Structure 1
Amino acid sequence: MANASNVAPEGAFGAFGAFGAFTGSGAFGAFGAFGAFGAFGGPGPANPPLISQALITNYDGIAGTWNPITNANAVNPNKEEQTAYLARLAPAVRASIYALELGSRIGFAFEPAATSSDPGWARVFHLSLTAGSSVPDTEYEHLISMRRPTQDVFIDQLTLVANYADLRQDRMAEILAQLGTPTEFLRAISFIEPARTPYTIELLATAHWLANFVEMRLKYALACKRPIEYSPQIQPMIWTPSHGSLPSGHSTEAFTMARVLWALLRAAGVKPYSEAVWGTMLMRQAARIAINRTVAGVHFPVDSAAGATLGLALGEYFTRRCTKKEPSESWAFDGTAYPSTMDFEWRDYFDTDATNPKQTETGWVDSKPIPNPSGTPITSEPLDWLWKKAKAEWKDI
C-alpha cells in the first residue's frame, strides 16, 4: 500500500490520505494512495497561520456588536438521514460512513478442526437484518469459509516460488509500483481520472477497504508462514510483511476491485465496456499483481488462489450491498485440497465469457446459496448513493 511519506499535499482527493497512516503491504493504505491525487490542484493545507491571524484582526474590524438570534425558524434544520447530505461531506468523512455500513454487517468466527492434525475453518459471516422494529432481528449467514493448506502443500510450492525468482529483474518496476493501491494499474485499462471519475475512485477505495478489512482477519486466524520462513534460499527482493501469507492481500484486493469495476462498467451499459474483453483484461491485471508477489518471493501460488477466491466473492458481495441486494452465495476455499505443485491461473476462478460473468467452482473451491432472510432487508442508502454517483460517470454524453 502507499507509504504516507510519499503522499502529495491534500488536494481534491488528498483527504483520503487520512487513511494512509496505516501503511505496509496489504495494510490500511487503501485510502492513503488517494493523497497522490492532490497534485491535481484544489485547496492548499487547512488553516495556514497567516490566514488565521488575518481573520482574527478582520473579525475585530467588521463583525460589530453581537446580535443574538431570537427566531427559532431563522435557520432551516437539515433533514435527518438523507443521502443528499453526503455530497457536502469531505471524501474522508464519507469513507468513515461507508466503513461502518460495510464493517457492521461482517462477522467472524474460527472453527477448530476435530483433530489437532487437521486445519480449522476461518469463517466470515454476513449479518442479515430484518426491518420493522427499532431493534432489527438479526441472523448471521455464511459468506466466506477458508482453511489453510497442509505443510506438505507449502513445502511443494517452494519450488514454484524459487523458479519465479528468475523474473525479478524484468518485473522489478511493477513489483515496487504495486506496493501501493491497484488503482493505478486498473486505470490503465479503464478511463479512470480524478476530474472525470471522482466517485468511481471513491467506490474502488471503499471496495479496497472491505477487502483489507476481511483479509487481515483471515490472515491472522490461518497464520500461514511466508516462503522466507521455509528456506534461506528464497531471499525476497522486498521486505516480507509481518502478517500471514494466506490469503494474499494483494490478490484479494486486486480481484475485489477488478470485479467491482467491471460490474460498474457493465451496469452503466455504455459500449464497449460491457464486452467480455474488458473483464478479461481487468482479471489479467489482478492476476499479474498477484503473481508478482510470488515473483518477489513473499507469497506462494496457493496464496494467490485463496486471495482470488476471496476477492471475487467480496467483489460480488460489495456490489450487491451497493445495489440494495442481499448476498446470494457463500464461498469456501479448502487449502488442503489444493494440488500441491499447481501454479495459480485466474481462469480457474472466474468466467468472463459467460452470458452472466461469474465466479466458478473447482476441486478446492465451492459455493452454496445463501437463504433469503425473512421480511424486508435493511439496505445501505450511503453505499447505494455512491454506486449511483459512480455509475453516472460512465454514461455517454
Structure 2
Amino acid sequence: MARDGTVGFWDGKADRTPHQNGRQSWAALKAMSNGPRRAVLDQALLGMCAVSLDTSTDANDEGRVTLDGETIVTLKKPTNAFLADKQLRFLRTYADLRGDRLSEIVMQTGDIQSFFALVGYMAPDATKWTLALNQAIYRLCTMIEQPLKHAFDVARPIAMTAKVQPIIQTPGHGSWPSGHATESFASATLLTRLFYNRGFDPVQEIANGNELYRHAERIAMNRTVAGVHFPTDSMAGAVLGVTLAEALVRLLDGETEVKARTFNGDTYEGDFTLKALTDALDGNTVVQTTSVTFSQDIVPAWLRRLWDDAKEEW
C-alpha cells in the first residue's frame, strides 16, 4: 500500500547506478552482515585445511591435518588399554580440585572466550575484527577436531571405571584429542600475536607462561578435573591448536615457512601442564617438529586486509 501511494507511475527502468558494482573484495566483505561474513571467512579457512585419515571403515591409529595439501599436524593415538594403565590414575588426583573449579568448569562448557577477554579488551565495537578471527578459529577447530575424535574413537574415562563419576555430563563422542584444549590453545596463540607488542614465538610464550596460555592450560586441565578427559587428550589438543593457529598467523603475517608437528600420543604417559607442553615442544621424543613452506597465494587478499585491521585494534 505504501509503495502504491508514494511511487506513482513507474515504467520499469532503472534510475540509479548501484555503488556496490565491482567493489574490491574487502569493501564487499565489510558490507556483509555477521552471518554471511562468517560463512565467507569459514569457507576460506576450512578451504585451506583438511583432515587426512587412513580409513573410513575402522578406527584410525593416526590422523593428520593438512594445510593446502601439506601435513602440518600428525597425531598418533593411544589405545584404551594404554590409557587405563598409564593415564587413568591422574583422574583420582585431579578430582580433589572439583570444589574449587566447579563454577569455571560449568561456564567453560559453553564459553571459553570470556576467559581470554580478561587479558585483552575485547568488545564488538572496539575489536570487531579480532573477535571475528578468534571466533572463526573456534569454528575451524571444531571442524577439524570432531572428525579426528570420530576417526580415533578413543574411550572416555567413565567408560573405564564407574568411580570417576564426572561432575558434568560426559560427551558421547570420542575423548582424544580434547576439543577444549584445541580451541583454547589455538585462541591463545592467535591472541598472543595480537595482544602483546613483541615478536611472535608461541613456543617461547608457552615456556614463559604468558597470561593467555595460563588460561588455556587451566581450561584444558579443568576437563580432567571434571572427569571427562585424560591429560594426554589435552596434550594432543594443545599441539593441534598451537600448530594450526601458528601456521595461520605466520601466513597472515606474510611468512612462507610454518612449523609442522607430530605428537606421539601412543607412547605419552605423562600429565598435562605448560611445563610438560614446553618440554614436549622443545624435545624430539614426545613431539617432533619440522618445517613446511607455502606460497602466499593461498591467503585471500581480503583476509590479509581483515588481518591488518585486526592488528590495528591493538
Scaled by the length of structure 1, the TM-score of the pair is: 0.71
Does the CA-based 8 Å contact 1:150-1:336 persist in structure 2?
yes
Q: Which residue is 2:77 aligned to?
A: 148
Distance change in 2, residues 1:151/1:208 (3 Å): same
Does the CA-based 8 Å contact 2:48-2:298 persist in structure 1?
no
Counterpart selection for 2:118 from 172, 176, 188: 188
RMSD: 2.7
In structure 1, how many angstroms separate the alpha carbons of the residues matched to 2:288 and 2:171? 29
The answer on 1:162 being equivalent to 2:92 is yes
The answer on 1:89 being equivalent to 2:32 is yes
The answer on 1:122 being equivalent to 2:63 is yes
The answer on 1:61 being equivalent to 2:5 is yes
In structure 2, how many angstroms separate the alpha carbons of the residues matched to 1:145 and 1:74? 53
Q: Which residue is 1:366 aligned to?
A: 288
Counterpart selection for 1:221 from 151, 167, 172: 151
In structure 2, how many angstroms separate the alpha carbons of the residues matched to 1:147 and 1:100? 28
Larger Rg: 1
In structure 2, how many angstroms separate the alpha carbons of the residues matched to 1:124 and 1:98? 19
In structure 1, how many angstroms separate the alpha carbons of the residues matched to 2:221 and 2:88? 14
Query: Offset at 1:326?
Result: 4.0
Query: Offset at 1:67?
Result: 3.6
Percent of pairs identical after alignment? 33
Q: Which residue is 2:300 aligned to?
A: 380
Query: Offset at 1:207?
Result: 1.1
- Where 1:368 maps in the other structure, the secondary structure is strand
Query: Offset at 1:77?
Result: 5.4
The answer on 1:179 being equivalent to 2:109 is yes
In structure 1, how many angstroms separate the alpha carbons of the residues matched to 2:32 and 2:288? 41
Distance change in 2, residues 1:316/1:265 (3 Å): same
In structure 2, how many angstroms separate the alpha carbons of the residues matched to 1:171 and 1:77? 51
Does the CA-based 8 Å contact 1:350-1:360 persist in structure 2?
yes
Query: Offset at 1:377?
Result: 3.0
Does the CA-based 8 Å contact 2:76-2:264 persist in structure 1?
yes
Distance change in 2, residues 1:75/1:232 (3 Å): closer
In structure 2, how many angstroms separate the alpha carbons of the residues matched to 1:184 and 1:70? 49
* Equivalences for residues 3-22 of structure 1 within 5 A: none
In structure 2, how many angstroms separate the alpha carbons of the residues matched to 1:361 and 1:143? 17
More helix per residue: 2
Does the CA-based 8 Å contact 1:349-1:361 persist in structure 2?
no
Q: Which runs of 5+ in 1 are unaligned?
A: 1-56, 128-139, 352-358
* Equivalences for residues 298-309 of structure 1 within 5 A: 298-309=228-239
Does the CA-based 8 Å contact 2:80-2:154 persist in structure 1?
no
Count of residue correspondences: 306
Q: Which residue is 1:108 aligned to?
A: 51
In structure 2, how many angstroms separate the alpha carbons of the residues matched to 1:80 and 1:96? 19
In structure 2, how many angstroms separate the alpha carbons of the residues matched to 1:87 and 1:350? 39
* Aligned AA (2:49): I
Does the CA-based 8 Å contact 1:349-1:362 persist in structure 2?
no
Q: Which residue is 2:21 aligned to?
A: 78
In structure 1, how many angstroms separate the alpha carbons of the residues matched to 2:235 and 2:14? 65
Query: Offset at 1:76?
Result: 4.9
Q: Which runs of 5+ in 2 are unaligned?
A: none
Does the CA-based 8 Å contact 1:252-1:307 persist in structure 2?
yes
Deviations 1:329-360 (A, max 9, x none): 21111112202xx2111233349xxxxxxx54
In structure 1, how many angstroms separate the alpha carbons of the residues matched to 2:166 and 2:123? 33
* Higher RCO structure, 1 or 2 (CA under 8 Å, sep 6+): 2
Query: Offset at 1:109?
Result: 2.3
